[in-house]
């Protein structure tokens, strides 16, 4: 029990929560929008999308979370019960909106949960 309590006490509050953007334009650099894909608001200056894993039909529960910025992208996929997660270190390649909001030695974690993307920040 003490291990569980300690783990929960280390969790931080999100620094941002990205909501779905039903009216947003799907980014050209990610190709054609797949069925079931979601787009999230761009308040942090990056494009955040989810889509079903398209290269395998063996597991329909696998979802990928993608972060796109300046023609670069990174992503992570997960199958239930795990949450799709992407982590990035703040760098000159990331948009100015992020670099102005967070200190240089920051790592950001994007986590898809309940149809929203929770963003967490931590010093490296």
CA 47: distance to chain centroid? 9
Asked if omega into 81 is within 30° of 0 (cis), the reply is yes
CA angle 16, 24, 33 (to 5 degrees): 110
Q: Which residues touch 45 (CB under 8 Å, ≥6 apart)?
A: 69, 94, 95, 96, 97, 98
Instruction: Specify the pTM.
Output: 0.82
pLDDT tens for the chain, 124 residues long, are 444 444 444 467 999 999 999 888 888 878 888 888 899 999 898 999 998 875 555 555 678 899 888 777 888 989 888 999 999 998 888 888 888 999 888 999 999 999 999 999 987 6
Whether 89 and 98 have beta carbons less than 8 Å apart is answered as: no
Domain ranges of the chain: 13-123
């Amino acid at each position: 029990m003490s291990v569980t309590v300690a783990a929960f006490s280390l969790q931080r509050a999100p620094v941002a929560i990205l909501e779905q953007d039903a009216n947003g334009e799907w980014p050209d650099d990610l190709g054609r929008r797949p069925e079931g894909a979601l787009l999230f608001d761009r308040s942090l200056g990056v494009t955040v999308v989810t889509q079903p894993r398209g290269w395998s039909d063996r597991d329909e529960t696998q979802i990928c979370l993608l972060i796109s910025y300046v023609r670069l992208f990174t992503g992570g996929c997960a199958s239930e019960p795990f949450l799709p997660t992407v982590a990035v270190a703040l760098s000159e390649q990331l948009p100015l909106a992020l670099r102005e909001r967070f200190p240089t030695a920051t790592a950001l974690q994007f986590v898809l949960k309940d149809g929203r993307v929770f963003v967490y920040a931590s010093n490296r």
